[in-house]
Amino acid sequence: MRVGTPRNQHTTPTRRTRVHVVSDVHGNTEALARAGDGADALICLGDLVLFLDYADHSRGIFPDLFGVANADRIVELRTERRFEEARAFGRELWAGRDRNEAILSAVRKQYAEMFAVMPSPTYATFGNVDVPALWPEYAHSGTTVLDGERAEIGGRVFGFVGGGLRTPMNTPYEISDEEYAAKVEALGPVDVLCSHIPPDVPELTYDTVARRFERGSSALLEAIRRTRPRYALFGHVHQPLVRRMRIGVTECVNVGHFASSGRPWALEW
């Protein structure tokens, strides 16, 4: 005899949760305003600031201050990994200017625009080009900023680790390997591990356009192997060799260079 649901008895479907994830927004305020459409929450993995667009040298704080020709030159030096020459060139350009005042003024303008369009709720952490000290001024009540902290979304535990590791680029929020590892350790086991930079795996850290390895975190890699989250989500590498791979049971996903794609990555359960 077949046993099933009686004809007139209705079951209540289980409500699903949908989260949209973005990283490397780099000034794309228009797309950010739509990023949470159709989702229960938006997660932002940092790099809101656009200092210099390597695809379009006319966009960003640097060309606004110094012009496109100088932006062309600084990009050329950096992509050729001539970092000392790039720093010397930068010092020449900044001579006679208040660097901190000029940059912070431009960053404040970008933050005011981007935080204003973030939906509620948004869960956000810092990227390596962000200025954490300014975020409390602009994050509204619907935006939760987390760094080395956890949040529950739809019954799953998400852990957040912001910033990047130290590099010759010397971007605003680079910290030591030890400080970064302490934040990862503070999370404990989570269902979804969210960070700006990827775990230290060559396929995930190599940028195919810049033709160089970005810095990934060995602490993240160790945590993935030890605590086995369902997902590890990150950005930072704009054109990675691979966008996703599995480490043990964990699906590692580069959620994409949102500044260029304008499309969030979706996670549903």
* Residue 1 pLDDT > 60: no
pLDDT of residue 79: 84
C-alpha 10/C-alpha 27 separation (Å) is 48
Residues 158/121, Cβ–Cβ less than 8 Å: no
Task: Give the H/E segment covering residue 135.
Answer: helix 135-138
Q: How many CB atoms lie within 10 A of CB 223?
A: 26
C-alpha 69/C-alpha 71 separation (Å) is 5
* Residue 11 pLDDT > 90: no
Partners of residue 212 on adjacent β-strands: 207
Q: What is the mean pLDDT of the chain?
A: 94
* Residue 5 pLDDT > 70: no
Residues 192/159, Cβ–Cβ less than 8 Å: yes
Q: Of 185, 203, 184, which Cα lies nearest the Cα of 194?
A: 184
pLDDT of residue 2: 33
Q: What is the DSSP string of 138-172?
A: H--TTEEE-SSEEEEETTEEEEEE--EE--TT--T
Mind listing the pLDDT tens digit for each residue in 160-200?
Answer: 999 999 998 889 999 999 999 999 999 999 999 999 999 99
pLDDT of residue 54: 86
For the question of whether the overall pTM of this predicted structure is more than 0.85, the answer is yes
What SS3 state is found at 206?
strand
Mind listing the pLDDT tens digit for each residue in 43-65?
Answer: 999 999 999 988 899 999 999 99
Residues 60/248, Cβ–Cβ less than 8 Å: no
* Residue 6 pLDDT > 80: no
Instruction: Give the model's confidence band at 254: pLDDT under 50 very low, under 70 low, under 90 confident, else very high.
Output: very high
* Residue 68 pLDDT > 80: yes
Partners of residue 233 on adjacent β-strands: 194, 253
pLDDT of residue 169: 85
- The residue behind tokens 């794309």 is 28
Instruction: Give the model's confidence band at 3: pLDDT under 50 very low, under 70 low, under 90 confident, else very high.
Output: very low
Mind listing the pLDDT tens digit for each residue in 72-101?
Answer: 999 999 888 898 999 999 999 999 999 889
